[in-house]
């Protein structure tokens, strides 16, 4: 008997997140090709900004599911403060970009 | 009889937030003076980055208190989803800077 | 006899920059007041995002004048590399926000 | 006879940029796997922040080479203003992330 798959806050839109990430991967490959072909720098930068925006959306999607879960269950699980601290650290990293 | 002051999530560190904001205000005035005196552009930009960092800290401080409150009370108040939606919109604006 | 005022890249729109900064200062004061009056956290965060956006505009305005100056004069002054290094450090700080 | 490859400002460190992008691609694949396996949301967010930081470095590397080129050649090519306008638009997009 195997352990049950944990239900993460983002399970609902998992397919959507995976689709976005696959697209982001294709975009990174595209940038690699642009640089390999010595394409104009400004055009490459525009593409990088587009990937950053896509990754921001994935991050916000994950964070949304997580926050929702924490607000529903945090008090009941007695982990409200722990969850808030952990989430704020993640938000801080996203704002500073790593 | 007046209505009681609402207890906001950030009440605890209110003095600290106000002190930081007063410092940020002084920094903005400092930049005004630097530009008025035609100081070197790069030095002005360094100061602007310092203010943005200070405002990020104020924002994270406010958000932390708010998230903590929502995770403790969200479920009990029956507003968990509403609170999560509202908070994520604020995080999105902070990441995009307005 | 006094030394002449140096002509900075941003002299052109100095009045505009100063006006924007004065507005930003008023906004920071407004946030102080909001926190002092225990206003709703999310509304304060919206205001902070607005200031961040205003300061970004001031920074981009300064940087634009500076880049323009460097591209016109960098080669003639024999300081092209030095100017590029210095400018990129400033851009990096703006992207990381301090 | 084929047209010569244009010399872009970033040619010098092209191998380094390509290596960084390949690593970023691996990281995006890693995140896909993490989400597919329902890994803890906060850990996925940490990885996303790491990719954002890596892409920021690629962008700054490209921009540095470009700015250097513009400051050396902008005046001679009579395109100083055009180059500055174009570069500032790219910086603005990077700061706003797309």
pLDDT of residue B11: 53
Picking from A63, A75, A96, the nearest residue to B88 by CB comes out as: A63
pLDDT of residue A2: 53
pLDDT of residue D74: 80
Indicate the pLDDT class of residue B8, thresholds 50, 70 and 90. low
For residue B87, list chain C residues with Cβ-Cβ distance below 8 A.
Answer: 42
pLDDT of residue C75: 82
Q: How far is Cα A66 from Cα D73, in angstroms, rounded to an integer?
A: 50
Dihedral of the alpha carbons of C17, C18, C21, C26, in degrees to the nearest 10:
-140
Residue B9, φ and ψ in degrees, nearest 5 = -60, -25
Can you list the residues of chain C whose pLDDT is less than 50? Answer: 1
For chains A and B, CB pairs below 8 A equal 74
Q: How far is Cα A91 from Cα A89, in angstroms, rounded to an integer?
A: 5
CB atoms under 10 Å from CB of D54, counted, come to: 18
Nearest CA in chain A to D55: A48
Task: Pick the closest to residue C71 from D9, D73, D61 (CA basis).
Answer: D73
Across the range D65-94, mean pLDDT stands at 91
pTM (global) more than 0.90? no
Across the range D66-83, mean pLDDT stands at 89
Handedness of CA C18, C27, C96, B57 (dihedral sign): positive
pLDDT of residue C12: 54
Q: How far is Cα A65 from Cα A46, in angstroms, rounded to an integer?
A: 29
pLDDT tens readout for residues C40-54: 999 999 999 999 999
Length of chain A: 98
The distance from CA B17 to its chain's CA centroid, rounded to whole angstroms, is: 8
C88 touches chain B (CB under 8 A): no
pLDDT of residue A1: 47
Across the range D3-11, mean pLDDT stands at 57
Indicate the pLDDT class of residue D7, thresholds 50, 70 and 90. low
Q: Are B8 and C38 in contact (CB under 8 A)?
A: yes
pLDDT tens readout for residues B37-75: 999 999 999 999 999 999 999 999 999 999 999 999 888
pLDDT tens readout for residues A44-96: 999 999 999 999 999 999 999 999 999 998 888 888 899 999 999 999 999 98
pLDDT of residue C51: 95
Q: Cβ–Cβ of B45/C53 closer than 8 Å?
A: no
At residue D1, does pLDDT exceed 50?
Answer: no
At residue A34, does pLDDT exceed 80?
Answer: yes
Q: How far is Cα D83 from Cα D64, in angstroms, rounded to an integer?
A: 13
For residue C42, list chain A residues with Cβ-Cβ distance below 8 A.
Answer: none
At residue A8, does pLDDT exceed 90?
Answer: no
């Amino acid at each position: 008997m195997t352990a049950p798959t944990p239900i993460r806050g983002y399970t609902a839109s998992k397919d959507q997140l995976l689709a976005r990430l696959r697209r982001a991967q294709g975009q990174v490959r595209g940038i690699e090709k642009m640089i390999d072909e010595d394409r104009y720098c400004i055009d490459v930068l525009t593409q990088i900004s587009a990937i950053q925006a896509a990754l921001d959306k994935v991050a916000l999607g994950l964070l949304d599911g997580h926050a929702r879960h924490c607000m529903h269950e945090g008090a009941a699980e007695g982990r409200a403060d722990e969850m808030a601290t952990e989430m704020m650290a993640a938000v801080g990293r996203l704002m500073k970009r790593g």
